[in-house]
């Protein structure tokens, strides 16, 4: 999904709490990590949230760095006075994403239907396309192995362009001309 597609999708999510949860997905968090996030696991000043081992898919707790959009969203939500960061408008905790709302937004946006987890894949893809090293992405997303992250590496090879000239088989034109004159003198 392109960034334009994502903006259009977000604009078509009509359920406010779902809109906020989808915006927060730009952190790369899983749905259960977002929906279970409590204020005692957030440090807005340090731009961090903590995913505890009981919520992490791999069973390991980790810090989750928060981008500026996530910080702004949390600051908007902070005044709600709820234990969980993301709740329904009534303050009731949300336990699962609303698939119908996401499907409706996708149809309105003219994109293929998607699962909430596709937002995490999109986040990872955008990181790779922006040149984020795979080891950094592994830590950001909480993947256990680099092999799990490598599925995103094929999406853009632009970051490899800096390294392609590190080894060259044939010399540059100027060097070739100098060598051919040397060869001529040796032959005659």
Tell me the per-residue pLDDT of 138-159, one tens digit each, with 9 for 90 and over: 999 988 899 988 887 766 566 5
**DSSP labels, 45-106:** TTTEEEE-TTTSTTS--EEEE--HHHHHHHHHHHTT--SBSSB-TTSPBP-S--HHHHHHHH
Examine the pLDDT at 10 and tell me if it is beyond 90: yes
pLDDT digits (tens, 9 = 90+) for 51-68: 988 877 777 888 999 999
For residue 142 the two structure tokens come to: 């909480």
What's the confidence (pLDDT) of residue 157?
Answer: 63
| pLDDT (0 to 100) of residue 130 | 87
Would the pTM count as exceeding 0.85?
no
Region 20-26 average pLDDT = 96
Summary count for the chain: helices (H), strands (E): 9, 3
Of 175, 135, 179, the C-alpha closest to 153 is 135
Backbone angles phi, psi at 9, to 5 degrees: -55, -50
Question: Mean pLDDT over residues 31-57, rounded?
Answer: 92
162 backbone dihedrals φ, ψ, rounded to 5°? -65, -15
Secondary structure class of 168 (helix, strand, coil): coil
């Amino acid at each position: 999904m392109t960034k334009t597609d994502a903006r259009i999708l977000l604009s078509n999510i009509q359920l406010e709490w779902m809109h906020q949860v989808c915006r927060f997905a730009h952190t790369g968090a899983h749905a259960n990590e977002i929906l279970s996030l409590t204020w005692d696991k957030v440090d807005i000043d340090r731009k961090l949230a903590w995913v505890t081992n009981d919520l992490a898919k791999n069973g390991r707790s980790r810090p989750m760095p928060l981008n500026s959009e996530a910080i702004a969203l949390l600051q908007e939500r902070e005044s709600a006075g709820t234990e969980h960061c993301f709740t329904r408008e009534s303050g009731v905790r949300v336990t699962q994403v609303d698939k119908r709302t996401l499907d409706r937004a996708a149809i309105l946006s003219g994109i293929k239907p998607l699962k909430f987890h596709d937002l995490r894949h999109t986040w990872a893809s955008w990181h790779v396309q922006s040149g984020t090293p795979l080891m950094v992405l592994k830590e950001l997303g909480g993947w256990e192995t680099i092999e799990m992250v490598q599925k995103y590496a094929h999406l853009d090879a632009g970051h490899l362009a800096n390294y392609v000239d590190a080894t060259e088989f044939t010399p540059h034109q100027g060097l070739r001309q100098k060598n051919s004159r040397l060869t001529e003198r040796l032959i005659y």
